[in-house]
Amino acid sequence: MRVARRSTDRKDPPQAVETPSTPDRTHCPPDEKVRALASGELSDPSIEEHVRECSWCSAEYRDHQRDLESNRFIKRSTYGLYVVILAIIVVEVLRSCHR
Ligand SMILES: [Zn+2]
């Protein structure tokens, strides 16, 4: 049993909110594997199963998926922008040729 002590010589920060205990993540796969799984580069049934059951890894997995999804979107929109710029250049060149 622990008795709450009030130390007068040392000022400890007040601990109003108890920090949640860090979960045991020793069995978690490395982050790169979770990312590879999210991107579809890796298919490892044991890791897939772990990600489904581990709330920490499933959160990371979703994060990676969102990340990859937005990367893909940025790439696609950059490509679309190039096409538009190219089209404008072509139109301008054709117009100047007809003058
Ligand atoms: Zn995990």
The pTM (predicted TM-score) of the whole model is 0.57
How far is the C-alpha of 85 from the C-alpha of 79, rounded, in Å? 10
Gap from CA of 17 to ligand 1 centroid (Å):
25
- Higher-pLDDT residue of 21, 29: 29
CA of 14 to the centre of ligand 1 (A): 32
Domain ranges of the chain: 3-74
Q: How far is the CA of 36 from the centre of ligand 1 (A)?
A: 15
Per residue in 58-88, pLDDT (tens digit) is: 999 999 999 999 999 999 999 999 999 999 9
* pLDDT per position as a tens digit, 31-68: 999 999 999 999 999 999 999 999 999 999 999 999 99
End-to-end CA distance of the chain: 94
> Which comes out higher in pLDDT, residue 4 or 74?
74
Q: How far is the CA of 12 from the centre of ligand 1 (A)?
A: 33
Q: Are 50 and 28 spatial neighbours (Cβ–Cβ below 8 Å)?
A: yes
Spacing, Cα 44 to ligand 1 middle (Å) = 14
Say if residue 51 is exposed, middle or buried (CB neighbours under 10 Å; 0-12, 13-18, 19+): buried
